[in-house]
Structures are given as structure tokens and as C-alpha cells.
Amino acid sequence: MKYRYLVSLFPLIIFIACSEPRQEPLYEQLSLEEITIEKLTAGYENGDYTIEQVVQAYLQRIEEIDRNVPGLNSVITINEFALQTAAELDEELQNGSLRGPLHGVPVLLKDNIDTYDMPTTAGSRFLEGSIPPEDAFIVKRLRDEGAIILGKTNLSEWANFHSSFSSSGWSGLGGQVNNPYEISRNPCGSSSGSGVAASANLAAVTIGTETNGSIVCPANANGVVGFKPTVGLWSRTGIIPISYTTDSAGPMTRTVRDAAVLLGALAGPDDRDELSKESEGHMYDDYTQFLNENGLEGKRIGFFTGPMGSHFRVDSLMYQAVRDFEKQGADIIEIDAIKGQNIGGDAFRVLLYEFKDGLNNYFVSLGDDAPIRSIEELAEKTREMEIEIEQFDRSLIFQAAEAGDLDSEEYLSSLENMLLYSRQEGIDRVMDEYNLDAIISPTGSPAWKSDPIMGDNFRLSSSSPSARAGYPIITLPMGSIDGLPVGISIFGRAWSEPLLLEIAYAYEQTTNHRLVPRFLD
């Protein structure tokens, strides 16, 4: 019996003896998991690794866990010049030249942000292969600061402004982005790929864009920090638009500090974006100066309870967060409403009109090689290509194509109402009335199962008040439910980024709710 057992094990013993030991991936050799900008740049300075090695490690990791099936599908394009750029930046470091705080930092960009050396598609088949003539303003700033653009991330097509319902993270060109905590679950959107890539450590940091919830919702579902700044703090030139009034790009990172570093590196006026000129006198080159571990002491915080009651386990996490705020010295004041009038219809009409105008201007910016000349042509081609309307109905594209111009009375009236009741009669009024420093609320629910037939299953959201006002909002993890992260949002007045960062950092440092994903299938 004893010998029979040994014989049966013999093939296994031979297999183990002959098998080569698993070669540790370069990503693990360099200890890049959860690395921060500060630690990454310290590693360059200490000679622990080169920029080229780090870029190679991230590219290998993208190939290993993003593109294999079932993978995350968060990266839609790889920058073929990334390694060459890394070698050039290594040489600059060796010669004693440091461009800025992002020197050698690998970044992934949402694929509605123009890059002169890669296609920018918004996830649409109609823009497949479309390479803009120049970088977006913020991409130029990234390159000037020494950042390396690793590639572009998949997204909800047209930043999720295309159909009456859809599956967040799905695009006709890129397919469905998957959640890194559990592959079958949704990443939320529209900055789905950026949120997933940041969470899965596919880059040091990523950048998303938001009109209403498109940074904070995927940050919530993917357990990262998402920051949509005041509209105008970052230029929007070279970003495929939805709304001139409410669009903004912003950081998606694993820590509040990294969000602060990125925020300052790209803040500032751009002559081609009128709203960005308003940032003068309100912006800082370095937002890390506002990070304070005792930043909640003495703060008056409004607790917006409107989104509560939709998911009892999210409510439990939120009440625990409130207790954590109080333990750190904050006074919490419950508020059940922010605006005094329902402006959802006005906000939707503003999006339709501005999407049409903005998209038409973007197509013009592509020059003679533009694959589409107008939103009317986009609507026509969409109707002709059955595969485009087979998955979702594309009704928003059709409605926007029929909208009037920005001189129409309907548009101007809707814009005036939206801004009045979200700003003076909204966030500003509430904060004045209760003498608040900021407002908190749950960001969203845990990630739902992706469903291409029935679409998204949103349970709650708190992004609309800040989104419609064009005011800043930051979200960061406040816990998890059965291994799925849930975030808390902190928002406030225009240009209150320093205050929001101070509050978020203090909460993050005492709770540390960031959960590293394990890619469960």
C-alpha cells in the first residue's frame, strides 16, 4: 500500500522537479503595487529602478491582467512610444534635470482626451483611428512635467451620453470594462477604464472626466480617490465634450496625496478655454500644502441625507463615517435638501444643447481628416449602421442632433435656472445658512452586475448638486460591503479644493479604507 502510494505520486514529483520556478513579474520585482508618486520618484532618485523599467513593468501588467480573458478590458490603446519616452527621461535624470513632480510618472488617460500620437475615440467606432492634430492642453502640461502617457482607457461611449439606458463602461469600440474586485460586476462610468486602471495598479495615476458623476461613480465602484475640480481649474481644450458648463477632467488615484499632486500640476488658465481664466487667483501649483492630518478639527460639515435610505448597508457605513468625522473634532449638521426647485429637466436640456454645439466644434478641430463633420452626420451614420443601435437605442445622440443653437430661449432659460438653483439657491445658500465648511454624503452603492440587456442598476448618487453647479467634489473609500468598496463624497463651494483636500486627507489617514482588488471571477 505504501509503495503503491509512492508510485502514484511519482509523475507529480517528476513534474515539480522538472518545472522551472515561477519567474516573478517585473512589476512585483520592483514592488510597484499601491506605489505613490512620492515613493516612485524617491525610487528613481535612489537608483532602485529606472523609469524605463517601471514603464516596462506596467506595460507587462496591462498585458497580463487587463487584456487576457476574462480581463479588465480597461485599456483601449497602448502608447507605442512610452518606452522611448521613458529612456529619454532617464537620460535627463542622469544629467541632473528634473522636469517637475511628475517626472517619470506613468499616467493613463481616458480616451476622450486628445493625444497627438494616439487615437482619441470616445469609444465610438466612428472615431476609430482618429488622431487629433495636437495634444489636449492638460496633456501638454503632463508631458512638460515629465509624465509618461502609457495609453488611453476605455470608457462609457461618448462619456455615457448616447442612449436612454446603457451599461456603464461599455463602448462600441472597446467593449465592456470589468470591475477588478469581481469581474462580472460593473465599474460605473463614464470614466470606467480610468477608475479600474487606477484601482488595479495599471499605472501610477489616471485621469478621468466628469459631467455628472463620471469621475466619482467609478472611483466609488473601484475603491479609489476621484476628484472633479471646480469647472475651469483644469482646461478642457482638446477634450471631447458633453457640456461646456459642467465638464471637467480630474485625477483618479489611490491616495488623496497623489490627487493633490496631480491637481496642482495641471491647474491653471488656458487662453482657449474661457472658463479656465477664472482659475487665476484661485489655483495653486502645489495642493499638497493643504494636507493636514488634523484637518477635521473644528470643521462644520453638512451631512446631506437625501441619498440615504436606498441601501441599508451603505447607510450603516455612512453613519460610521459620520462618527469618524465627529471623533476627529468635526461638528455634523444634517441637511435633507440642497436645492429648492427640481432642475433635472433644465440640466438635461443644457446637456442636449451643449453636447451638440461642443461636439460640432470638436469635429471642426480635427481638420480636414475628421471622420465625422457634425453631430447630424453622426446621427445619420448611427441610423445606417445597425450594429450601433443594436445594443442601445442612441436616443440622446438623435435628440441632441435636433436641438437648436445656444442662442435659443429654451437653452438660455434652462441654463439660467440650473445655475441659479444649484449655486446661489443651492450649495451656496445651504452653506451660508448653516455656516458650513463642506458637505458629505455617500457617493454610491456597491458595484452591480453588468447587464447589457437591462442596463445599469444605480441605487443612489450624490453627485448632481456639485455637478450642476460646476463646483468641486472628491470621493474616497469609506468601507466595503462583501468585498466591494463604497465611497464617501465631500463637496462644497467653487474653488474650495484646498478645504476639500484637507478634510479628505484627515479622514483617509485615520481610516485607511482603501482595499486592494483581487480580480475575483
Q: How far apart are CA 392 and CA 377, in angstroms?
A: 19
Per DSSP, the three-state class of 99 is coil
Amino acid at 91: E
Other CB atoms within 10 Å distance of the CB of residue 512: 9
What cell does 133 get? 492634430
- Of 514, 466, 520, the closest CA to residue 490 belongs to 466
What cell does 176 get? 465592456
70 cis-preceded (ω within 30 degrees of 0): yes
Note if 441 is an active site residue: no
CA 505 remoteness from chain centre = 18
Q: How far apart are CA 22 and CA 99, in angstroms?
A: 38
Burial class (CB in 10 A: 0-12, 13-18, 19+), 38: middle
- Residues with Cβ < 8 Å from 85, sequence gap 6 or more? 55, 79, 148, 149
For 235-269, the three-class secondary structure string (H helix, E strand, C coil) is: CCCCECCCCCCCCEEEEEECCHHHHHHHHHHHCCC
CA angle at residue 520 from 517 to 521, to 5 degrees? 150
What cell does 252 get? 483618479
- Active-site residue among 124, 168, 190, 466? 190
Note if 190 is an active site residue: yes
Query: Could you tell me which residues are beta bridge partners of residue 109?
Result: 152, 207
- Active-site residue among 74, 110, 276, 339? 110
Note if 450 is an active site residue: no
Q: Where are the alpha helices (DSSP H) in 328-369?
A: 344-365
- Of 38, 118, 54, 60, the closest CA to residue 87 belongs to 54
CA angle at residue 21 from 20 to 24, to 5 degrees? 130
- Residues with Cβ < 8 Å from 268, sequence gap 6 or more? 141, 235, 276, 279, 283
Phi/psi at 386 (5° precision):
-60, -35
Q: What secondary structure letter does DSSP report for 288? A: G
What cell does 236 get? 478642457
Cβ–Cβ under 8 Å, residues 131 and 81: no
What cell does 259 get? 490627487
Cβ–Cβ under 8 Å, residues 242 and 351: yes
Q: What secondary structure letter does DSSP report for 62? A: I
- Active-site residue among 74, 124, 168, 214? 214
- Of 171, 162, 194, the closest CA to residue 124 belongs to 171
Q: How far apart are CA 236 and CA 240, in angstroms?
A: 9
- Of 192, 293, 212, 298, the closest CA to residue 252 belongs to 192
| Residues marked as catalytic | 110, 190, 214
